[in-house]
Structure 1
Amino acid sequence: MKQFRNDFLWGGATAANQVEGAYLEDGKGISVADVVTSGSHTSPRRIALDQNEAYHYPSHTAVDFYHHYKEDIALFAEMGFKAYRMSISWARIYPNGDDEAPNPKGLEFYHHVFAELKKYNIEPVVTLSHSDIPLAIALKYHGWINKQVIDLYVRYALTLFENYKDEVRYWIPFNEINDMFLPMSALGQGALIDPQAQFIHQQKDDPDERFNALNNMMIASARAVVRGRQINPDFHFGTMICHITRYPRTCHPEDVLLVLKNDLFYNNTCADVMLKGEYPFYALNEFEKRGVRLQLNEEEKAILKEGVCDYYTFSYYQSISESTQEFSEETSGNIMGGIKNPYLQETAWNWPIDPVGLCTTLLKVYDRYRVPIMITENGIGCVDQLSADGKIHDDYRIAYLRDHILEMNKAVDDGVDLIGYMAWGCLDLISVSTGEMKKRYGFIYVDRDDEGRGSYARIKKDSFAWYQQVIASNGRQLDF
């Protein structure tokens, strides 16, 4: 069997609003994430624009990476990380999004982070906008629905490119940009905030506005890519798609057709635009059926063509099953659920566990785009308990990751050009879907609970040593 390439980028991934904390420190502005309360698997997160002290806002402190970044990066280095996927908080650089000048303290913080990564030869993979924007942009401009926000984003991107042109090579314009296909997920991307909505699932939705907001994000991404390459031709830009692999629940031809169409629309539309430079026929047709009038002029179409990305990055957690028929049992998921698949086990949060689906996805994606691929999120959220010996024995996490890495290796053996793998939540962080701490993903336990209590102490889980050996052996040693 073919091995992973010698320069394979093993590492982990986090997001600023889920790890940094220090939400108003050193000039940072309030972001959308900062007005969303904690929740749970059964209780939705609340939108509280008034910052009511009766609620807990997990992003305000998160796991305090802002003050622990040296300790955390040293732990990443101990595991042997070759790369660390992180995001920059737009509100830390431009507190209101449209400020006349960037916040010097914000720029300085990320210089320190990149210097620390360089000390350990860890390659930063940086997301410019990870499902969060300055709150002022959402309220003042109505978020990405307003084309003015394209200019604000491009200015923000240029600020980062100019300041970090010698420190960062790998950039991702937007995290899971296709989240905009679902109304609830569009909130984090900053499509809009409905002041009348108490909970995130109650957002008023206008498909025409939402898909035009997505279109504006596509244009912003392309413009940023074009300008970024002018600043440093060695920059590499990736897509970042939330890929929900889909299966027909039955072999009925109608189920097969349903899955084919949904896969094209939900999984491929954004990647087609970002890698092929134009909207595919099936998306344009679906927009028309939904009454969406895409605001896209000839100049913007040319920008989409020019500003295509270099590599395909995606998150993979699960697959879902779909049918034209009625089934009573359902599952949950990253941004959507489906019908229960009787061949798969599930996590405690009812997410299907499907390692083979990762191999399927890699083969499909590489066949379609023929560009290098990087997995920028993959992991399992679990309730981790400290044992009597003061350790966390997370064999379930090791088993999940091991099985997925085995399938990655099979895809590589079949000829897929896979260049990197970033395990999601390499240290415990705030769950974006529920706002919980108890839904843990990391190799590193952080002493923090759902109410924001704890010492912030970092404790290595059993998976820490296991991932260390995986990286040291370049994926050859997966036993535990």
Structure 2
Amino acid sequence: MVLNKKFTWGGASAANQYEGGYDKGGKGLNAIDVLTNGSATEPRKVTWKKTNGETGATPLVWGKKFKLPEGAIPTILDGYYYPSHQGTDFYHHYKEDIKLMAEMGFKAFRTSIAWTRIFPNGDDKKPNEAGLKFYDNLFDTCNQYGIEPIITLSHFEIPFHLVKKYGGFTNRKLIDYFVRFATVCFKRYKNKVKYWMTFNEIDNQSAYNNDFLMATNSGILFKKGMTDKEKEAAMYQAGHYELVASALAVKIGHKINPNFQIGCMINYSPVRPLTPSSDDVLLADKFEQRRDWFSDVHVFGKYPNAVEAYIERNGYRPDITDEDRIVLQEGTVDYVAFSYYQTTTVSSKKVKPDDLTDLSKAVTKNPTLKRSDWGWEIDPEGLRIALNQLTDRYHKPLFIVENGLGAYDKVEADGSIHDDYRIDYLKKHISEMEKAVELDGVNLMGYLPWGPIDLVSAGTGQMDKRYGFIYVDKNDAGKGTLKRSRKDSFYWYKKVIASNGKKLD
């Protein structure tokens, strides 16, 4: 078996990291618009102001507790750089960028619709026509080049107004606001977009002690003094509301256009036990149960028994109705989309299986794997494992909608960029992907590596952490001409697409 002729090659991005134009065309603020830039060693910060005029910035550190000062309200301040405000300016460069993607031979391009470009506050009664028109123009340009738009509805872009007024997805009202947004998009673009995803990497928030992920996934800024148990409870309730919102959107989307394909999107990382001990193996299993329930509900329309038992034992998710359970059953997804960057290794020496709550406390380094410049483990074989595990678990078509290497790129004196390290990374991952299809029979829709044109890193706010086939002249401080330049990987990926994956060298 080889990749069929309908296999979809392309690339993926997100509005908050790529689009820019944060104050153009009537767009409102989203939660990530109040985050400053950071680096590989310095965290991004949330800027704030108190009613007495005092201002400041509080670090939002991955995996550590985040507390704003008493009375502080997140806001945009002079003197700070906010990477999402411009991204790499796709808002003004989309025609040029889509043309470059077409030159590579893209069959599809994944991006998101910025919620606040359509509903600036999130709870507005009427949509913003200027925002709708922007995406009309974008999708028309994609279709002009034969590029299928693959659209995520919520990709770390929850309206900031919904965070401040309602507490993000801890409030049931957000179900209605998301469904209103989704419905408007489905109706407006029903003849321009076929493939949709509801929430990006919805399972990220299983790491409920990671304040960055809780803020960007669900719009939750934990209050000072909250216990770990209270944070975990908030995650389960918010996650439930998002799953209900997703299921309602799927039902409505299929009514608007029965040809729509609407999927979920998860961050999938196969879990390895550090040793073959029973405790390590059981810990790996428990880890997966606490993370994979999001996609279980998306696909099967009900909570798995192990998670129901855990929720009941801890008194979490108090607000779930019989109607919710019916909606979940009726709004299951058509396919499972996922990002793959690395595997996860766990050790019971760090936490015993029955004591697992905070998933990050179980994670340990895999001594057999190399790491990227940003410390991410590189495990190409893990992608094949992921494809097999997801196939065995869900029996749905799969779609790789993120994969790639964030790395430093050097522009030579003649303007060339020799990114052989990126080519090597992608070559090895594509090879494992092809084995999963050809040898294991995985039903795979396509491959959309992350950031085909350089964009802002979500975690660090950096430009130096580059993923693209196309270089954008902009640095970590936001300075540069925004000129686009083809890297060596641009020409390599063009050959891969033209050969439908046969020519990887």
Confirm or deny a common fold (TM above 0.5).
Answer: yes
Deviations 1:36-84 (A, max 9, x none): 1111222111111231222210001110000000000000000000111
Q: 1:284-433 to 2 correspondence within 5 Å?
A: 284-325=308-349, 338-413=363-438, 414-433=440-459
TM-score (norm 2): 0.90
Q: CA deviation at 1:125?
A: 0.6
Superposition map of 1:227-242 within 5 A: 227-242=252-267
Secondary structure, counterpart of 2:312 in structure 1: helix
Deviation at residue 336 of structure 1 after TM alignment: 9.6
Structure 1 CA distance for aligned equivalents of residues 290 and 257 of structure 2: 33
- 1:196 positional shift: 6.2
Mapping 1:95-110, distance limit 5 Å: 95-110=120-135
- How far is 1:210 from its partner? 1.8
Q: Which residue of 2 aligns with 1:182?
A: 207
TM normalised by structure 1 equals 0.94
- Displacement of 1:207 in angstroms is 1.6
Would the alpha carbon gap of residues 272 and 388 (structure 1) be closer, same or farther in structure 2, given more than 3 Å must change?
A: same
CA drift of 1:98 comes to 1.0
1:252 to 2:277 alignment: yes
Give matches, 1:29-178, under 5 Å. Answer: 29-48=28-47, 49-178=74-203
- Distance, in Å, in 1 between the alignment partners of 2:236 and 2:444 is 31
Correspondence for 2:9: 10
- Greater CA deviation, 249-258 or 279-288? 279-288
Provide the rounded CA distance (Å) in 2 between the counterparts of 1:295 and 1:400.
45
Q: Report the CA distance between 1:293 and its aligned residue.
A: 3.2
Shift of 1:191: 3.4
Percent of matched pairs sharing the same residue = 47
| Secondary structure of the structure 2 residue equivalent to 1:162 | helix
> Where does 1:460-471 land on structure 2 (aligned, <5 Å)?
460-471=486-497
1:117 alignment partner, SS class: helix
Query: Which residue does 1:332 correspond to in 2?
Result: none
Q: Is 1:435 matched with 2:434?
A: no
**Cα distance, 1:283 vs structure 2:** 1.3
The offset of 1:245, in angstroms, is 1.5
- Distance in 2 (CA, whole Å) between partners of 1:203 and 1:138 is 20
- State the one-letter code of the partner of 1:279: Y
State the 1:204 CA deviation.
Answer: 11
Over 3 Å counting, the alpha-carbon distance change for 1:445 and 1:392 in structure 2 is same
Q: Partner of 1:97: helix, strand, or coil?
A: coil
Helix, strand or coil at the partner of 1:85: strand
Q: CA deviation at 1:4?
A: 0.8
Letter in 2 for 1:41: A
**Matching of residue 25 in structure 1 with residue 49 in structure 2:** no
Do the aligned residues in 2 keep the contact of 1:18 with 1:429 (CA within 8 Å)?
yes
Secondary structure in 1 matching 2:437 = helix
Once the two structures are superposed, residues 301-332 of structure 1 have per-residue CA deviations (whole angstroms, 9 ceiling, x without a partner) of: 000000000011100000121101259xxxxx
- List runs of 5+ in structure 1 lacking aligned partners: 328-334
Q: Which amino acid aligns with 1:130?
A: H
Q: Does 1:453 pair with 2:479?
A: yes
Separation in 1, partners of 2:220, 2:344: 28
CA distance in 2, matches of 1:386, 1:165: 42
Taking the aligned partners of 1:326 and 1:30, their CA distance within structure 2 comes to 40
TM-aligned CA deviation for residue 348 of structure 1 = 0.5
- The size of the alignment, in residue pairs, is 467
Q: Provide Cα deviations, 1:242-290, integer angstroms capped at 9, x if missing partner.
A: 1121111111111011001111221x21111001110001111222344
What CA RMSD, in Å, does the superposition of the two structures yield over aligned residues? 1.9
Deviation at 1:467, TM superposition (A): 0.5
Measured after TM superposition, the shift of residue 148 of structure 1 is: 0.6
Match of 2:295?
A: 271
Q: Which runs of 5+ in 2 are unaligned?
A: 48-73, 352-359
Bigger Cα displacement from structure 2, 128-137 vs 183-192: 183-192
Deviations 1:165-223 (A, max 9, x none): 000000000000111212321110233234769xxxx9996221221011000000000
Distance 1:51 1:247, change over 3 A: same
Q: How far is the alpha carbon of 1:435 from its aligned partner?
A: 0.7
Amino acid at match of 1:275: V
Counterpart Cα distance in 1 of 2:362 and 2:142: 37
Q: 1:204 to 1:391 in 2, by over 3 A?
A: farther
Query: In the TM superposition, what whole-angstrom CA distance separates every residue of 1:408-428 from its partner, at most 9, and x where no partner exists?
Result: 111002110011111001111
> C-alpha offsets along residues 78-111 of structure 1, whole Å, 9 cap, x if unaligned?
0000111100000000000111211110000000
Structure 1 residues 203 and 269: CA distance shift in structure 2, 3 A: closer
